[in-house]
């Protein structure tokens, strides 16, 4: 139950504005409001502030009183039920007069008149608090007033009054509502009271849908404030995020995480925000500090590994991967990342162990099943690889992984074939085309019925400049497996390049039919349609390729080529 109601002060006629001080109507509200905040302290001791509200020029607004109300009127308007005391006052030239009334009888319990300088308005607060607590029978000393002074204090009180206006849901009356916020942070961004009020004010703007770029920009001086606490840095980050200021929000989160590295979720959020912005060095600093202190979570260590990978620090990534591998079974996202890095580091045994453990918790993880298959293939366990690939394809793999999984599944059908094909691919990547061709000849003598080997032969012969041999090899691949989408695709491309547009188009159409989400076939189909003069169909295929994830640079190049072909035709 309320024990006291402190009313907004009246302001006598004839008060002259003072340069560098808050307006008198602001002081008349903010002095009693600060008194209430001080008396309630960190909780609620039952002291209430009552601003006078009513119609002004046709809309609800703060009322200005030029004289004290009759005590009976005060008792009638506050609507707080039975209270011990009522407090009001009036600002006059050079002085503040206040009185304390009995809450029920309205008997005058105490009255004081003290000198008042609007440039030092808080000087009266300790005495006002002391006299009110004396009447209430409370013990304790008055709380210290804010240490602000001069223009900073004036703008601070104006900002608090603007905040009160929004809390009371009153209409805006100034053309530049951000001016007090900007002025406060320019003059005193390192003051805790200013920081708290600025954030409260921005929150009110957000609730009204007014937290735009300009208001977010006004908050940025807080990022340079040495005294910005962890909780206020987090609040600032949330407000900046709401305003679409992601880079500044990430800076605020990094600031908070640096101050509280033991808070794992905060470190993870800050690292993720910085990673998304490709600010890898800052992300490494945040999560690295938590790791040094021994309080980095597995998720944070995984983030650190991803950061190290993007920074090209493979030694650090390998260290972090080993740390994670030594922990209990990780969550699925961490397991996927960890398995992929272990495979890159040529550790299929570790990758298989972690993938199998994670899949025991949830087998419907196609990408993890695919990586398990890769590990099993590297360990020459074709049966386990086949089972993992079938499981992955059964659940559904995204493009472009699905065609690769189907290819691996074909290679699993013959023991040793996958490792041999991998050696051929490695030779091709190294430019050792003669050695690759020699290996293929030996393999084809043993496994001439395997479409995958004939497909590889077509690739190697084409790269060696033997187009006729490449065409023969790709046709043999399709004789062995008419459903080999990659062979149809590459054969179609070679036929197009050789001028046989219709045959090339048929093979490309078949490749698209077999792998409808594969962007490569769609891009080549667009070229074929352009050569046939079918501009609308070409554009349809280009749009489909973009939706299927075609590389932007490649898509742009093919789009340009299609445009040139259509113009030439």
**Domains of the chain, start order:** 1-145 (3.40.50), 328-413 (1.25.40.10), 433-482 (1.25.40.10), 483-569 (1.25.40.10)
- 404-430 per-position pLDDT tens digit: 788 888 878 777 777 777 788 888 888
User: Using an 8 Å Cβ cutoff, are 505 and 525 in contact?
Assistant: yes
What are the φ/ψ torsions at residue 416 (nearest 5 degrees)?
A: 85, -10
CA distance 259 to 253: 10
Helix, strand or coil for residue 302?
A: helix
List of residues 6+ apart from 243 with CB closer than 8 A? 206, 211, 212, 213, 215, 216
**Percentage of the residues of the chain whose pLDDT score is greater than 70:** 99
Nearest to 347 by CA among 383, 375, 319: 375
Tokens standing for residue 436: 């690759």
- Residue 48 reports pLDDT greater than 90: yes
Block residue for tokens 């030694």: 315
CB 435 within 8 A of CB 408: no
Angle made by CA atoms 477, 478, 484, in degrees to the nearest 5: 90
Q: What is the pTM of this model?
A: 0.74
Query: Alpha-carbon distance 311 to 281, whole Å?
Result: 8
Residues 6 or more apart whose Cβ sits within 8 Å of residue 50: 5, 6, 7, 8, 77, 78, 80
Instruction: With cut-offs at 50, 70 and 90, classify the pLDDT of residue 65.
Output: very high
CA distance 298 to 21: 54
CB 221 within 8 A of CB 247: no
Residue 296: left if φ>0, alpha if ψ -120 to 50, beta else—which one?
beta
208, with CB counted inside 10 A (0-12, 13-18, 19+), is exposed
Condensed to tens digits (0 to 9), the pLDDT of residues 137-196 reads: 998 777 777 789 999 999 999 999 999 999 998 888 888 889 999 999 999 999 999 999
User: Quick check: 436 and 448 in contact, CB under 8 A?
Assistant: no
**Residue 49 CA, distance from chain mean position:** 39
CA nearest 523: which of 497, 488, 494, 548?
548
C-alpha 391/C-alpha 373 separation (Å) is 10
Q: What's the sign of the alpha-carbon dihedral 337, 339, 345, 350? A: positive
495 to each of 468, 486, 489, 499, 511, how far by Cα in Å? 10, 14, 10, 6, 14
Q: Tell me, what's the pLDDT at 413?
A: 74
pLDDT digits (tens, 9 = 90+) for 242-262: 999 999 999 999 999 999 999
Distance between terminal CA atoms of the chain? 87
Element at 53 (helix H, strand E) = strand 53-56
For residue 186, give every residue at least 6 positions away whose Cβ sits within 8 Å of its Cβ, in sequence order, or none: 221
Q: Is the dihedral of CA 29, 32, 38, 42 positive or negative?
A: negative
How far is the C-alpha of 259 from the C-alpha of 504, rounded, in Å? 63
Instruction: Give the helix/strand (H/E) hosting 50.
Output: strand 47-50
Whether 565 and 527 have beta carbons less than 8 Å apart is answered as yes
| Cα separation, 372 vs 206, whole angstroms | 47
pLDDT band at 289 (very low <50, low <70, confident <90, very high): very high
Paired residues of 98 in beta bridges: 89, 112
What does the pLDDT read at residue 569? Answer: 64
Token pair for residue 554? Answer: 């490649």
Tokens 């690759």, residue located: 436
- Model confidence pLDDT, tens digit, residues 105-147: 999 999 999 999 999 999 999 999 999 999 999 987 777 777 8
57-66, 71-80, 162-171, 405-414: segment of lowest average pLDDT? 405-414
Averaged pLDDT score across all residues of the chain: 90
pLDDT at residue number 11: 97
Q: Which of 254, 262, 321, 270 is nearest to 290 (CA)?
A: 262
Positive/negative CA dihedral, 523, 529, 532, 536: negative
């Amino acid at each position: 139950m309320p024990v006291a109601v402190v009313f907004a002060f009246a302001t006598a006629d004839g008060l002259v504005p003072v340069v560098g001080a808050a307006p008198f109507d602001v002081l008349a509200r903010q002095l009693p409001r600060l008194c209430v905040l001080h008396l309630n302290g960190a909780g609620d001791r039952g002291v209430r502030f009552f601003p006078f509200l009513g119609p002004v020029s046709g809309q609800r607004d703060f009322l200005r009183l030029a004289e004290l109300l009759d005590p009976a009127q005060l008792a009638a308007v506050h609507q707080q039920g039975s209270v011990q005391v009522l407090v009001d006052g009036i600002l006059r030239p050079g002085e503040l007069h206040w009185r304390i009334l009995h809450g029920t009888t309205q008997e005058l319990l105490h009255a004081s008149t003290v000198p008042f300088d609007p440039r030092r308005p808080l000087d009266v607060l300790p005495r006002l608090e002391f006299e009110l607590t004396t009447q209430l029978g409370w013990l304790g000393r008055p709380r210290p007033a804010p240490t602000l002074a001069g223009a900073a204090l004036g703008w601070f009180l104006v900002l608090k009054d603007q905040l009160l206006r929004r809390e009371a849901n009153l209409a805006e009356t100034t053309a530049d509502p951000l001016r007090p916020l900007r002025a406060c942070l320019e003059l005193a961004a390192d003051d805790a009271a200013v920081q708290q009020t600025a954030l409260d004010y921005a929150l009110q703007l957000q609730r009204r849908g007014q937290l735009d770029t300009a208001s977010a920009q006004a908050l940025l001086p807080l990022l340079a404030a040495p005294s910005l606490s962890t909780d206020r840095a987090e609040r600032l980050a949330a407000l900046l995020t709401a305003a679409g200021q992601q880079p500044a929000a990430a800076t605020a989160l990094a600031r908070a995480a640096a101050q509280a590295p033991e808070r794992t979720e905060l470190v993870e959020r800050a690292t993720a925000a910085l990673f998304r912005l490709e600010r890898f060095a800052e992300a490494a600093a945040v999560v690295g500090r938590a790791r040094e202190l021994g309080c980095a979570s597995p998720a944070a260590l995984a983030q650190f590994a991803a950061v190290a990978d993007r920074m090209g620090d493979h030694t650090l990534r390998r260290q972090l991967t080993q740390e994670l591998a030594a922990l209990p079974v990780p969550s699925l996202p961490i397991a996927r990342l960890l398995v992929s890095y272990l495979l890159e580091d040529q550790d299929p045994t570790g990758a298989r162990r972690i993938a199998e453990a994670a899949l025991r918790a949830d087998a419907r993880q196609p990408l993890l099943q695919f990586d398990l298959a890769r590990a099993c293939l590297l360990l020459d366990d074709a049966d386990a690889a086949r089972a993992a690939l079938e499981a992955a394809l059964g659940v559904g793999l995204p493009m472009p992984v699905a065609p690769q999984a189907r290819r691996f599944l074909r290679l699993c059908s013959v023991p040793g074939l996958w490792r041999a094909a991998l050696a051929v691919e490695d030779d091709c990547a190294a430019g050792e085309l003669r050695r690759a061709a020699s290996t293929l000849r030996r393999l084809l003598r043993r496994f001439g019925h395997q479409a995958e080997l004939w497909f590889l032969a077509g690739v190697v012969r084409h790269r060696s400049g033997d187009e006729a041999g490449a065409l023969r090899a790709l046709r043999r691949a399709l004789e062995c497996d008419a459903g080999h989408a990659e062979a149809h695709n590459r054969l179609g491309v070679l036929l197009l390049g050789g001028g046989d547009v219709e045959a090339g188009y048929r093979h490309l159409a078949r490749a698209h039919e077999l792998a409808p989400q594969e962007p490569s076939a769609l891009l080549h189909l667009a070229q074929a349609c352009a050569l046939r003069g079918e501009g609308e169909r070409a554009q349809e295929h280009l749009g489909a390729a973009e939706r299927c994830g075609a590389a932007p640079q490649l898509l742009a190049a093919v789009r340009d080529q299609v445009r040139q072909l259509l113009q030439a035709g």
